[in-house]
A and B are shown apart, each in its own frame.
Chain A
Amino acid sequence: DAKTTQPPSMDCAEGRAANLPCNHSTISGNEYVYWYRQIHSQGPQYIIHGLKNNETNEMASLIITEDRKSSTLILPHATLRDTAVYYCIVRVAASTGTASKLTFGTGTRLQVTL
């Protein structure tokens, strides 16, 4: 699976949008961008994933650049409960049946403040 690069930490004021970047310049054509987050002392939580089009769900939006070498996870109105470590992972889609296991990097520690 392609390697990803994320900033180690970011701060965001509560109520503002949190934009978390991820670089994945070696991504292959059949690899998706997945985002998970881990709140302190809990298991990781799936957020969103996408191939090349922008995606949105009830938790977040995922913006993938046209060349697919980078992406941004957007939490539109961050709250204190969004404080967590956010992991960007690139891999073949799980539904293909040949998906590799999820391998976690160091992620971005997002601190949402009042």
Chain B
Amino acid sequence: GAVVSQHPSWVICKSGTSVKIECRSLDFQATTMFWYRQFPKQSLMLMATSNEGSKATYEQGVEKDKFLINHASLTLSTLTVTSAHPEDSSFYICSARGGAGTPPNREQYFGPGTRLTVT
């Protein structure tokens, strides 16, 4: 149980275009989803937290107009990188957390990640 998937697993896009990454909780309802970014040889950095049906809360320094997050259902969140530039190339990882009293009891589980390369 507690499986989180991401799609696509990797994507290459041209500078100036937008790319959407999907994150799904496959066997539980994710009341909260998190988006992380990881540059090579660095640790994961939290970008934003979203609760289903609410606007995302962005970490300091993360541009909300550039990284659009939608969490419209309890099993799906999307991250759209708008007007992507080479410096946005990174490994994007989502994480999902369920509600109280339901598996996985608010523990955070992670997707496999999406590698974005902007050329």
Task: Spell out A's residues near B (CB within 8 Å).
Answer: 38, 41-46, 87, 94-97, 99, 101-107
Contact = CB atoms under 8 A, between A and B. Distances in A.
Contacts of A42: 112-113
A107 B43 contact: yes
Contacts of B49: 101
B113 A41 contact: yes
Interface string B21-64: 00000000000001010000001111001000000000000000
B106 A43 contact: no
A103 B46 contact: yes
B43 A104 contact: yes
Interface of B: 4, 6, 34, 36, 43-46, 49, 91, 93, 95, 97, 100, 105-113, 115
Given A41-B91, A95-B106, A97-B106, 8 more contacts: A43-B110, A43-B113, A44-B93, A94-B97, A97-B100, A102-B46, A102-B95, A104-B36
Contacts, number: 52
B43 A106 contact: yes
A102 B108 contact: yes
B110 A101 contact: no
Greatest chain B CB density within 10 A among A38, A87, A106 is at: A38
B43 A105 contact: yes
Nearest to B10: A41
